Structure formats: C-alpha cells, structure tokens
Amino acid sequence: MKKTSRRGFLRSLRAGTAAVLVAHRPLPGLSRAALFDPVESAHDDGLIRLDRNDNAYGPSRKVIDAIHSSIGSVNRYPVNECSSLRKRIADLHHAKPEQVLMGCGSTEILRMAAFAFLGRGKQLIQASPTFEAIENYARAVSSDVISVRLTPRFSHDLDGMRARVGPSTTLVYICNPNNPTASLTPRKDVEDFIGKLPASTFVVIDEAYHHYAGQSGMYGSFIDHSIDNERVIVTRTFSSVYGLAGLRLGYAVAARNAIQRMRQFATEEDINIVVAQAASAALDDLDGANESVRRNMDDRQEFFNQAMARALKPIESHANFVMMNTFHPAEDVIEHFRRNNILIGRSFPAMSTYIRISLGRPDEMRRFWAAWDMLPYPKHTMQH
C-alpha cells in the first residue's frame, strides 16, 4: 500500500465518509494495522509538532484496537459506556462514581471549576507562568486573577500565594508538574499550604503530567494519596501519557459536593463513545502506560544529553516537555524553528527568553537539534 493513498484514505475518514464501512469491511489491500498505525501521522503538512505536550507516539495497540471496535457503535448515545468508564475511573482511585467528573479534555473540567467557584467579585490565585486555561475562564466570568511568580527554582511560591489570599479568594490553581516549566512543587509544601487556606477557598490541583513525575520522591499525587479536605479537586487527562489528545478526555476527582457544583456547568453528553471505549482500554493496558512513561524517560534523558553536549542547562523536567533559557527573545527562536518546519511551544511573557519543547520521537528530535545548531547566535550567548 503506498503512503499517498493511505493518507488520502485517512483524509476521507476524517471527512466522515467511510468510518462505519471501515469497521466492518476493510478496503482491499488496506490492513487494519496500517489504518491505525500510530507512527503514521495523519498530518501530512511536513511540520514537526513539538508544541502541545501531547504524545508523539500515539496510543497503545490495545487502545487502537478499542478505537477500531468502537466505530460500529457511533450511531448510539454513549450512555452505558460513559457510566462504566466513570465507575472504572472511580475504582482506579478508590473513590465513588459521584466523586468523578469527566470532561471534553481536562480543559473542560477547568472551565467547570472556574464557572462553579469564580465570578464577579471573586478571585483566582495561580502561579506565573502556568497553564493559562483556567485564567482565561476566570476572566470570562469577570473574576480577578492574581498571578504569583514561580520561585527561582521554578516551584510554586506558596508563601507568596498565601500572602495574597483574602476573603474573595474562592479558587487557587496549582499545576504540578507545572506547565510550561515541567518543574515540581513538593507535595509536603502543597499540603501545608492547603491546610492554611480559609474554609471558603477551593483548590484545583492539575495533575495532567502526573505519570511523568512518579519517579521523584518530592512528588505525590493528591488523588493517590488524598488528604481529608472537601475543597481539593484533582484533575487528570488522557491527552499525554495515553496519547489521546485528539479524542478529548479529562476528569476530576473530588468530594461529591464539589463535583455536583461543577457538574452544573457540564455539557450534556460531552464524552463520545469512541473515547469512552478507548479510555477504558487505556486504563486496562498497564503495560501500554508503563511503556509510554519509559519511552518518555528515554527521550527526556536523550534531550538532556544533547543539551549537555552543547553546555545548555534546561530546567529539570518532570514531564513530557522541557523548558530552556535561550538568552534571546523566545519569539525569534520560535520563528527560527518555524522556518525549519518545527513547531515549539508559544512564548511565555513571564519567561520571555525561554522556549518550551515537547518531546518528540527520536527522528524528530534529531531535526530539532539540527535546527538548534543552525541558530544564528554565537554559542557563548546561549549558555549558562
């Protein structure tokens, strides 16, 4: 089967013309494995995508099979599939289904949290820089947003954040590991911080990159080791370690009351049947998840090897991306990579000379470093 015709076919699939047909009757010469080969990118624009912290390898084979077998059900509403996935997630975290809220990506969960706990006269406290979705939703409901710079070691400045807490602070956002810095805030410090918050303040702990941080002794998930606090909401995503960013699924685990308040702002039937089945398969496929984490560790190590060979010193990464000081305006560096058909993360005004690079496959990273070596800056101006 030639690449071009396969791509053409994938395009028609995307246009929605042949999905059900495929589920039952593969086209002649087009194997099922080829159709869903995770390394066969459906993007044929020639760009290398190191910009969104998703997963360059795609989902595991078992998840791909689940996606394939779900196609025959896409004419039905996903009632049973969603409730069994919710139960599956609850069981995973030793929680009750009423303590789990799923969303169209954890982005939707962040929107629900902002809508439920913020509004005019209320205040969100967050780090700077951090993942901006919740800030955008906070502003959309006319909340004040206080951003407190990360410490020089790139963890949340929890003392600084606590100093800003007042009667109108109804929500605090802690992203751990933090996007864009890939850095950790020690669990013990977060626990102390939460213990000192007023009773009217909820806390979202965003664990989007949880799986990549597990090796660090100072990290601890607030789902796996929960604290007895009804105002803590923990979010996770299927976009990174499970390679399902395009299918959109995230969830929150929290006390029943907090979940109920957020659920009021959920979109009815927002979880589709394909992702419901794919996510169940992903949770069952422990080997697949472990392999994804292991591969990321290798790719991250290789990134640091390459950086060290160039006397560069990126921020220690506990995620599937790396942030690094270029000592030059980030916009110019981003544009250089763009001209070389490589997309890296957008610029972050609070760290205007840093770039964020999502880890890609080895061949993609070789292209990244080749483009890096072509940056038109004298080497001594790019090093610590």
Ligand X SMILES: Cc1ncc(COP(=O)(O)O)c(C=O)c1O
Write each residue from 69 to 98 as x if it is in contact with ligand X (CB under 6 A), else as -, in one continuous string.
------------------------------
> Which of 35, 36, 53, 259 touches ligand X (CB under 6 A)?
53
Helix, strand, coil percentages (3-state) for the chain, rounded to 5, are: 40, 15, 45
> Which of 239, 280, 317, 347 touches ligand X (CB under 6 A)?
239
Of 73-81, 101-109, 150-158, 217-225, the segment contacting ligand X by CB under 6 A is 101-109
- Nearer to ligand X among residue 259 and residue 382 (C-beta): 259
Q: How far is the CB of 49 from ligand X (least distance, A)?
A: 13
- 179 near ligand X, rule: CB under 6 A: yes
- 245 near ligand X, rule: CB under 6 A: yes
Tell me which DSSP letter residue 320 carries.
Answer: S
Q: How far is the CB of 175 from ligand X (least distance, A)?
A: 5
- Nearer to ligand X among residue 131 and residue 303 (C-beta): 131
- Structure tokens given for 177: 């590991």
- Structure tokens given for 298: 């290798």
Closest residue by beta carbon to ligand X: 105
> DSSP alpha helices (H): ranges in 170-249?
187-195, 210-213
> Which of 60, 106, 126, 272 touches ligand X (CB under 6 A)?
106
> ∠ CA(199), CA(179), CA(255), 5° rounding?
30
**Bridging pattern class, strands 232-237 and 202-206:** parallel
Query: CA torsion sign, 71 to 72 to 74 to 78?
Result: negative
Write each residue from 340 to 359 as x if it is in contact with ligand X (CB under 6 A), else as -, in one continuous string.
--------------------
Q: How far is the CB of 12 from ligand X (least distance, A)?
A: 26
- Nearer to ligand X among residue 143 and residue 358 (C-beta): 358
Q: How far is the CB of 310 from ligand X (least distance, A)?
A: 27
The answer to whether the CB of 168 falls within 8 A of the CB of 196 is no
Write each residue from 298 to 337 as x if it is in contact with ligand X (CB under 6 A), else as -, in one continuous string.
----------------------------------------
- 155 near ligand X, rule: CB under 6 A: no
What are the CB-based long-range contacts (under 8 Å, 24+) for 261-269?
Answer: 261/116, 261/117, 262/101, 262/109, 262/112, 262/113, 262/115, 262/116, 262/233, 263/101, 263/112, 264/116, 265/111, 265/112, 265/115, 265/116, 266/101, 266/103, 266/108, 266/112, 267/104, 267/108, 269/77, 269/78
Q: How far is it, in rounded angstroms, from Cα 185 to Cα 178?
A: 8
Q: Which residues contact 160 (CB under 8 A, 6 or more apart)?
A: 148, 149
> Which of 58, 59, 78, 105 touches ligand X (CB under 6 A)?
105
- Nearer to ligand X among residue 43 and residue 76 (C-beta): 43
Longest Cα–Cα distance of the chain, Å, equals: 66
> Which of 150, 175, 262, 315 touches ligand X (CB under 6 A)?
175
The answer to whether the CB of 11 falls within 8 A of the CB of 43 is no
- Name residue, tokens 């979705």: 133
Q: How far is the CB of 236 from ligand X (least distance, A)?
A: 8
The answer to whether the CB of 197 falls within 8 A of the CB of 165 is yes
- 107 near ligand X, rule: CB under 6 A: yes
> Which of 116, 208, 223, 371 touches ligand X (CB under 6 A)?
208
Of 12-20, 89-97, 102-110, 160-168, the segment contacting ligand X by CB under 6 A is 102-110
Q: How far is the CB of 311 from ligand X (least distance, A)?
A: 29
- 272 near ligand X, rule: CB under 6 A: no
Query: CA torsion sign, 25 to 26 to 32 to 38?
Result: negative
**How many residues of this chain bind ligand X (CB under 6 A)?**
13
Q: Which residue from 380, 379, 374 is spatially nearest to 333, judged by alpha carbons?
A: 374
- Name residue, tokens 């919740």: 134
Which residues in 250-269 contact ligand X (CB under 6 A)?
A: 250
> Which of 115, 117, 131, 193 touches ligand X (CB under 6 A)?
131
Given the rule CB under 6 A, which residues bind ligand X?
Answer: 53, 105-107, 131, 175, 179, 206, 208, 237, 239, 245, 250
